[in-house]
Structure 1
């Protein structure tokens, strides 16, 4: 192999490579056409929503609402608003990322982005039209109806479109056929995540053995087969019509990696690398230059930015005040029941770790006996825990025992959403046993979190819980917090 221009030995079956390239060109058209279909469909639906809103506003009993003079408003006068509004709505949805072929199968994700996009568009389009004094003056009631109609019709159309795409023969055209090069714990973690994802955009074919691979798991070949060695990679790409190469093992010869990258470029295959050295916040890598030299490092997390912290704190204050007011009667009722069942303190205070490891006292309605940990010491609650009060199981299932924590949120010790706080005596062991455990303390702990709404609470796998916490910190947004709070009311898996 020539180090200046490393290549793999040319496969003897050039016809196979050419056939594969033709197959790829045919298959790759399909996902992009589905994206085009989704754009056109959304545009038609947006126009239909505008017409529905116009009819509701000006030709039904709703026409008497508002202060606008509507007698002279005709469809022709509003046509410009409708066209501009429909196009701008599709642009906002595109800005939200819904027009990518790798998200077409993610119905829940797309639905959340559509809801967010419609809200932004409704408020933004109305504000801009008023600021620019567009004529005729845009009815506020019309815009509200337009937003509601657009949301309802878009979600209905997208649900039907998603069901169509999930039918046999179409799913395969939307998935990228992926081959792993090398095998280690990072590849195993990625494979497990993709395997659990029913809307996965990747068809994982198998992996290629390298000279330096580590045996990360006693997994059988049928689950995730080893298809060959690095010397066979070009043949494997051809025979399996590979769309993407994911390099998990970076310890091989540099020339070999360069040759693989050249091969992928030549065959128009996506070339990805798992940066094993960054196992904490791997999705937050950023490339910067220092004195002209490119440096790869962990970028700042969303909650490292002051503005984001201020926005999150504002939501916490508003939410905790509302929560304390609304939950006061519930706390009083269940506090009385606890006192009648088990004489002693109604509220339970416990030392927990907060942001940057600063301890605080969390407040709960007591759901266990006073001597619950006298014999066992600190431990998690388990299913059918005999230490619970009779009312305790009900309170824990419905998170009623957590309601006093609105006071912790108001004081600034906790947030409405974030990684759940743990006890110092448990953390003392976790931080040595579980990699990157303390990274979750870079933000305030929350009353609920991404791990909890995914069923990772109580006596569940702590490693997966930590990964959920780190994912939340990497991907934080105000909209994500709102979604998690909404899901908390419907997700009660492992709540005991």
Structure 2
């Protein structure tokens, strides 16, 4: 059973972490006193003297790792979250280390060496855990260390759950089958068969061959939920609930405890937190200033070419809808011939559009026409990262056709976004773009912004759908 494998893996992981801590500590001592990188004090304790402190360091750090959930299964845990937890645990460990030395009056211990230990331990810990992650995923792809799951109920949520598991074999999930009352026995979805009715759980569970039960009932069958959960909990099998209204609640719902009554907030927007908004704004201003300085030679060259090759204004201003549904003028290098406002609003630019100038075709394809929007970022109309803004007429159209479309206006629009680095630019699926925008809005972190900016350099500049 996978439970036994997980227990063994956790124990081995604790031992390995202990080895990593000792290795990092000794490496820090050598770097400080033997490498020649740092000036050597006229006196210093030997490695043997420093090693005595490890008796306290190792158990304290292992306890911190446990408190920061670094021994939870890695099947679907994100790398960024794990790395952040490692940094936090080591940061607190560093503070406790210094506090302990102060209280015990160990004033001769090198503070530089302690800081080196922090850096080395974080780096080695993250590296080792990523190697373990890749090793486990490779084993699961080959059919080892599998987790056996039974799905209860057939619904849209069940299909989406199966889709994701089939698309990610490295998670090591094997779906044994489906029990459902609304689909006849023998039916199947992507190779997963319906084995019988939900009441067959009373026969299946005593066999003790399952690691998890995934309840994915349709909305019309929620009256059965308490009975099914009761059967699962009697067997002790770990049970998950996959709601059939996931298109309504966010991916990371914010739940309040109202005197024992769980209350789910329909929309969680991390950027509504004033501190998060302030930090993002600081990054936007700094990033926009750096970008304007960095790209100024390119922008100057493009400005000259536009002026020489096409009569009309250099900058094209177009009204877009931004934060809290407020319109603002978005700046772009002009890439088309000058035209009447009514003609400009007529629709999308199409392939081989005669209105696009030769230099316009190039700057649209390479996204250089978007560079003046760094001014919009400085003004506060836009952010470096966020959902792309649309024109008013398209906002009116899409808000009637696409559920949750207007949620994107709860944050500042961006120069680039999660949808854009995933290929949703130009003439692509609006619903797919909105799904990515909503994921970004609900899961925003500063690290997520940096990831999108990094990916933009490889996936975001060249746009095959830009005409």
Aligned-residue offset at 1:443: 1.4
Q: 1:164 aligns with which of 125, 132, 135?
A: 135
**Per the alignment, in what secondary structure is the counterpart of residue 248 of structure 1?**
coil
Q: 1:379 aligns with which of 348, 357, 360?
A: 348
**Per the alignment, in what secondary structure is the counterpart of residue 288 of structure 1?**
strand
Q: 1:252 aligns with which of 217, 221, 225?
A: 221
Give the equivalent residue in structure 1 for 2:210.
241
Aligned-residue offset at 1:30: 0.6
- Tell me, yes or no, if structure 1 residue 427 matches structure 2 residue 402: no
Contact 1:288 1:296 (8 Å CA) reproduced: no
Two-structure CA RMSD over aligned residues (Å): 3.8
Instruction: Deviation per CA, 1:75-95: give whole Å up to 9, x if none.
Output: 245436666666666566556
Equivalences for 1:85-484 in 2 at 5 Å?
A: 97-101=69-73, 103-104=74-75, 109-110=78-79, 112-113=80-81, 115-117=83-85, 119-120=87-88, 134=102, 135-136=106-107, 141-142=112-113, 145-168=116-139, 174-197=145-168, 199-200=170-171, 202-211=173-182, 221-235=189-203, 238=207, 241=210, 243-252=212-221, 254=223, 256-277=224-245, 279-282=247-250, 283-289=252-258, 295-298=263-266, 300-368=268-336, 370=338, 374=343, 377-379=346-348, 390=358, 395=363, 399-484=367-452
- Tell me, yes or no, if structure 1 residue 74 matches structure 2 residue 12: no
The gaps in structure 2 that reach 5 residues or longer are none
Contact 2:140 2:170 (8 Å CA) reproduced: no
Aligned-residue offset at 1:281: 3.2
Contact 2:141 2:169 (8 Å CA) reproduced: no
**Per the alignment, in what secondary structure is the counterpart of residue 252 of structure 1?**
helix
Q: Within 2, Cα distance between the matches of 1:252 and 1:122?
A: 47
Q: More displaced, 455-464 or 472-481?
A: 455-464
* TM-score, scaled to structure 1: 0.77
- Tell me, yes or no, if structure 1 residue 58 matches structure 2 residue 27: no
Contact 2:419 2:436 (8 Å CA) reproduced: yes
Taking a change above 3 Å as real, the CA distance of residues 466 and 336 of structure 1, as seen in their structure-2 partners, is same
Give the equivalent residue in structure 2 for 1:5.
none
Q: Within 2, Cα distance between the matches of 1:93 and 1:241?
A: 29
Q: Within 1, Cα distance between the matches of 2:164 and 2:145?
A: 18
Aligned-residue offset at 1:204: 3.7
Aligned-residue offset at 1:236: 5.2
Q: How many residue pairs end up in the alignment? A: 455
- Tell me, yes or no, if structure 1 residue 33 matches structure 2 residue 18: no
Aligned-residue offset at 1:265: 0.5
Contact 1:28 1:173 (8 Å CA) reproduced: no
The gaps in structure 1 that reach 5 residues or longer are 1-25, 214-218
Aligned-residue offset at 1:354: 1.0
Give the equivalent residue in structure 1 for 2:24.
49
Taking a change above 3 Å as real, the CA distance of residues 104 and 293 of structure 1, as seen in their structure-2 partners, is closer
**Per the alignment, in what secondary structure is the counterpart of residue 495 of structure 1?**
coil
Q: Within 2, Cα distance between the matches of 1:36 and 1:381?
A: 60
Aligned-residue offset at 1:362: 1.8
Q: Within 2, Cα distance between the matches of 1:196 and 1:493?
A: 28
**Per the alignment, in what secondary structure is the counterpart of residue 37 of structure 2?**
helix
Taking a change above 3 Å as real, the CA distance of residues 299 and 371 of structure 1, as seen in their structure-2 partners, is closer
* TM-score, scaled to structure 2: 0.81
Instruction: Deviation per CA, 1:218-271: give whole Å up to 9, x if none.
Output: x974444333332434445559736122223142273x3322111110222233
Q: Within 2, Cα distance between the matches of 1:127 and 1:465?
A: 44
Aligned-residue offset at 1:417: 2.0
Q: Within 2, Cα distance between the matches of 1:128 and 1:95?
A: 15
